[in-house]
Amino acid sequence: MPARSLRRLLLGWLLAPLLILLALGTLGTVYIARGVAHDAYDKELLDPMLALAQHIVIMGGQPTFNLTPAARDLLLVDAYDNIYYQLSAAHARPIGNLYLPVPAGIGDRALFYDASFSGREIRVAALRIALPDNTSAVLQVAETLNKRDSHMIKILLGMLAPALAIALAAVLLVWFGIRRGLAPLENLQTELAARSHRDLRPVPENHAPEEVRPLVVSLNALLRRLNEAQASQQRFLANAAHQLRTPLAGLQTQVELALRGHLPEHLRPTLAHLHASTVRTAHLANQLLTLARAEPGALPPDAMQRLDLCNLVENAAHEWVPRALEKKLDLGFDMTPAWLVGEPLLLRELLANLIDNALRYTPAGGNITVRCGDLNGVFLEVEDNGIGIPAAAIAKVCERFYRVEGSPGDGCGLGLAIVEEIARIHDATLDISAPDTGRGTLIRLRFPQTHVFSST
């Protein structure tokens, strides 16, 4: 079922009755205008009728008019309509240019009615006239409806033009009112859409209208429960990782000491396998602990500091160069000063995960380059010419515990997930692509201007 728009629903409920009222008003206006036009011109139609009635005489026992044709035409002339007349008496042939039956019930007061003559609609006035011979005749005068229709159209335009203007103004006011009325909902939607999926801060309730406030209160209650669940999960993750680190470090030390001592040869492969598993598990515990620290809300308010990213990368070089030499990899650095505001420990973890990934997935003899600087904004890049990431997997490599199928090594699938979380905390954009050479991986982070400061 398609989603319904609240704006369209309100417009429908408000504008539909307005348009219906406008249509009913138009019909009423047509009725009134027609009645006004008939009343006005019916009175005018009486003038030629009364003038003709004054010239009725009895000649040869039959009623007739003692008017010359010119005088009669002068009485019946009209600039817009054709005028017709007919004088009818009992036992006499009707006189005039109108051939209509005489309606019943005609008295000494004029009767007005509509009729059709020669294929045209006409308006007829009928009046019973007393004759000198104590008999009576019926005089009918009719005219076409040209000036009546023209006058009715003018009345309609005069009445409908303001009505349409008012209706248009009402539509605009309704639209503006609905837009203003729905503004709090749109503001709420905009605020929620701009948030990260990790941002579970309550929505401000003070400025919410009375009708929207229960929704905001319920939403905040849901966010609070989600935040508590996330915090509980985060504490569990951090506590578990922290509790595992100490025994794992002790186990790793004991296994390393055992491997350095004199052992029967059949036990050495088992201990070597145990040592590798311990190192891998310790690495996983450290990664989980780092991930817990990178979760929203885990940082204290004063964690962000002003620092030079170049110095942070330079300090990391001393840790990673020996490992690169051990794997016969060329680890190079291209650095210029790059000042920003960030959390030093998390940025070191971010860099460590990027370099660790590059070392893991670059074969011996390969090249790894770490770059940082300030070029239209602070950036950090790690580029290698290793096995690369398939284009289809780039969208998934930042998911937790995701590993590209067929990847060598013993990674745990958390490195880039940690990088993404730390980047999100610093509002940095993370881009993963292939280098210009087409081989390997290029990971680039750009920090927004709000996190960038000059060194002076």
* 8 Å CB contact between 361 and 343: no
146 has pLDDT over 60? yes
Give the least confident one: 249-253, 328-332, 417-421.
Answer: 249-253
pLDDT score, position 382: 92
Residue 1: exposed, middle, or buried by beta-carbon count in 10 A (0-12, 13-18, 19+)?
exposed
Burial 405-430 (b: 16+ CB within 10 A, else e): eeeeeebbbbbbbbbbbbbbbbebeb
In the numeric block, the tokens 């009576």 are attached to 136
Please give the Cα distance from 223 to 200 (Å, whole number): 6
Q: Tell me: the pLDDT tens digits for 60-75?
A: 778 888 887 777 777 7
Positive or negative: CA dihedral 171, 173, 179, 181: negative
* 8 Å CB contact between 319 and 333: no
Positive or negative: CA dihedral 53, 59, 63, 68: negative
Q: Tell me: the pLDDT tens digits for 180-193?
A: 777 777 777 787 77
Please give the Cα distance from 196 to 199 (Å, whole number): 5
Q: Report the SS3 class of residue 261.
A: coil
Tokens of 29: 């206006």
Phi, psi of 4 (to 5 degrees): -95, 140
pLDDT score, position 444: 93
Strand (E) or helix (H) holding 70: helix 69-75
CA within 13 Å, CB half, 448: 8
Q: How many residues does the chain have?
A: 456
pLDDT score, position 294: 64
pLDDT score, position 1: 47
Q: Tell me: the pLDDT tens digits for 344-375?
A: 888 988 898 899 889 888 989 999 999 999 88
Please give the Cα distance from 99 to 107 (Å, whole number): 20
Q: Tell me: the pLDDT tens digits for 412-449?
A: 777 788 888 888 888 899 999 888 888 889 999 999 87
Q: 119 — alpha (psi -120 to 50), left (phi > 0) or beta?
A: left
